[in-house]
Structure 1
Amino acid sequence: MDDLDARFQELVSQIGEDEQRRMREAAAKAARRAAPPSSRRPSSRARRWALAVVLVLAVLVAAASVLAFRPELLTPEPAVRRTQPAPTSTPEPPAPADPFEGSPATGYASGAAGFVLPAPKAVGGLSAKEVGRGLARVRDLLTAAYLDPATLMGGEPKAFTALADPGQRKKITRSWVNSFAPGTTELATDVIKVRGEATLSRLREGARVKVSYLVVYAVQSPGRPDQVVRLVTRPRGSFAIYVSEGEVRVWVERLGADATPVRCDVSGGYIHPRFPGSAPGRVSGTGAPRDPYDLHQPVSDGCTATTGT
């Protein structure tokens, strides 16, 4: 019934205002003619009845005229016209998969938590508390060298310099930190995986901390999330902890890292990752392929081949 009422109202809406006015005038005339001869003036009830009859007839006539030109009004509306239009906006792409999945780095710690250091103990004339302060500074230096976003993106290693011993600040080189060549690389995720070990030994006056870690980045070519690769670096080095003028200080004895997969035909202290589809460069890795996740392999002197990351 609701559909019939709606269609009836649509038919009525097809009659213009002028036509409706003419219908009302015609209904009034018909009402006067329908009045009994003995009555000089028809009753109000008779006039209303006649007007209703004329209007119904007029509507039916108009409806017939409309249907002659628009027969689809009696055809059931297709179901498709009752549905909402499909959204035109592109759905959000699914979140990218874990870029470390399928590699040993999946189980590594995230960030500075991976820079595991020995428990503090008294050694080389230093108290356990002094050694503990020195170890905390070593962790801060490692974090600045391998996790600081500004340094990683090719900026000056300001975070590392601020933590270094004042006597070394003018000697710091790019080789002491990890920096991607500016404009070549983006981090695909803020998560950086770290695993490794460190040992504590005695110096004549102080303590030495030897470190060996794996720091794994998920990187991509700028604007190319389809080119994400895992880049494995292997920092190695040693730090001396000593006390000077009542202050615990840390001296970088040596520090550096190799990396893969990288271009072998560039230098300058920056890391140039090699992405899928990019030219390998004029120089390729040499020697028997090494496992980049093997923590105990010796540091390579040149650009060596690896089994993949």
Structure 2
Amino acid sequence: MSDKPSEEPSSTPEIPDEVWEQFARDTERDIRGSAPKEPSARARLVTERLRQQEARGELPEGWRTNPAQGAKDRAGRRRRLWAVIGVPLAVAVALVALKPSLLPGDPFGSESDTAAASPLPDETAAPTGAPAATDPETPTLDEPFAGSPALRWADGASGIVPPKATAVGGISEDRVETALELTKKLLVGSNLDPKTVGGERPAAALAVLDPKQPELLDDLNRSLRTPDQDHDPLSMFSRFDPADVRLVGDVIKTRGRMTFKKGDQGGVDVRADYTFVYPVVRTDGSPEVTRTIVRRVLEVELLDPARYVATPGRLNVLHHDRDVGNTACGIYDGYLHPRFPSAEPSGSPATGPTTDPYDRSQELGADGSEPCGTVSRT
């Protein structure tokens, strides 16, 4: 047995000296790098200047914060802003895409005639020519005035606008105003009243006429009872056969003007020149729409009952004339008979010239005896 104690191997591995030396150097470097450093003189100067500016309120809010965090916050705010603005904007874009007419004007040039049509101002003088040509659109049940100059005309009685009443030739303003109002009532009752247009007796119009005027009411009543070529109620009234056609909707387009002066018999003389456009369909169920255009020139006088045999508040008719566009020729049953493009023509062949029924610049014939012709447009 040996006298030296036996040496057992250590369970901890030995670390080489060079590793310890490298560890010591790295640790010393890290300690020096992380230790607080005394700021330089320039850094102390800048810091003091910033502190003073902050105290005076000259620095923007949040200047001390982390720039990266500030950028992140700004990006978040932008995302929230777009969330608030973007959704309504997307909805608005979608609506405009579906209906461009929501935009003011016509930026895409896509407005229909109906959307683009603005009402014409009231007519105060004779036109110098026919209305300009319009797009040749076919009238429909939904758009009965498509392709017609009357699209921009006033609706019904709103298109009959008497001038401002003033005293004339010793006649008071009130009496002139009464004459103008009665003339409008006669025009409405003769051409716009649903009962008259529907072929019934034009009671509202007859009620405005003076029953003391010789022969006039007798002739009109006879023409309504037994119409013929010499006794035609269409000379005064616009009527359609309810068994044949009906109006499309309840709008009749109207345009014209009214003037007044002192009459030859000392009363208020009123002259009216108006055109009425009637869109109609057949009563057989066909959806085809056509239009009949009636122009009337009417001269009436409100006489002074103190000087003449006259009924107070009633009109004397001095002259009445009319021109009809798009009605069958040679039929004298007291009704207008519109022509439809798809239907066989009725009545006699047209022998008169082709005219534009919308041309209000020309005077009507002296006695309305021109032969029945055709129209260039309806």
TM-score band, normalised by shorter chain: 0.5 to 0.7
- Superposed CA offset, 1:131-160 (max 9, x none): 101110110010000011111111111111
Distance 2:170 2:313 in 1: 12
Structure 2 residue corresponding to 1:197, chosen from 252, 257, 260: 257
Partner of 1:178: 238
Q: Please state if 1:162 is matched with 2:207.
A: yes
Partner of 2:73: none
Partner of 1:59: none
Partner of 2:329: 264
Partner of 1:54: none
Distance 1:150 1:291 in 2: 28
Distance 1:181 1:241 in 2: 33
Structure 1 residue corresponding to 2:358, chosen from 277, 281, 293: 293
**Displacement over 6 Å in runs of 4+:** none
Structure 2 residue corresponding to 1:141, chosen from 186, 205, 228: 186
Q: TM-score, normalised on structure 1?
A: 0.64
Count of residue pairs brought into register by the alignment: 215
Distance 1:96 1:264 in 2: 26
Unaligned runs of 5+ in 2: 1-139, 224-232
Letter in 1 for 2:152: G
Partner of 1:217: 278
Q: CA deviation at 1:282?
A: 4.8
Map 1:1-309 onto structure 2 (within 5 A). Answer: 96-168=141-213, 169-172=217-220, 173=223, 174=233, 175-204=235-264, 205-245=266-306, 247-299=312-364, 301-309=370-378
Letter in 2 for 1:292: P
Give the 3-state SS of the residue equivalent to 1:199 in structure 2: strand
User: Which protein shows a greater Rg?
Assistant: 2
Q: CA deviation at 1:164?
A: 1.6
Distance 1:179 1:155 in 2: 8
Distance 1:139 1:289 in 2: 31
Distance 1:284 1:195 in 2: 30
Distance 2:173 2:288 in 1: 47
- Superposed CA offset, 1:191-222 (max 9, x none): 11000112212213012111111100111111
- Contact 2:141/2:248, CA 8 A, preserved across alignment: no
- Superposed CA offset, 1:177-201 (max 9, x none): 1111341110111011000112212
- Contact 1:188/1:225, CA 8 A, preserved across alignment: no
Root mean square deviation, CA, Å: 2.1
Give the 3-state SS of the residue equivalent to 1:113 in structure 2: helix
Letter in 2 for 1:157: P
Give the 3-state SS of the residue equivalent to 1:272 in structure 2: coil
Sort the Cα spacing of 1:126 and 1:199 in 2 relative to 1 into closer, same or farther, 3 A: same
Distance 2:201 2:267 in 1: 31
Distance 2:249 2:292 in 1: 12
- Contact 1:177/1:256, CA 8 A, preserved across alignment: no
Give the 3-state SS of the residue equivalent to 1:163 in structure 2: coil
Unaligned runs of 5+ in 1: 1-94
Q: Which has the higher strand share?
A: 1
* Between 191-200 and 289-298, the greater mean CA deviation after superposition: 289-298
Q: TM-score, normalised on structure 2?
A: 0.53
Give the 3-state SS of the residue equivalent to 1:170 in structure 2: helix
Sort the Cα spacing of 1:228 and 1:96 in 2 relative to 1 into closer, same or farther, 3 A: closer
Partner of 1:73: none
| Percentage identity across paired residues of the two chains | 34
Letter in 1 for 2:245: T
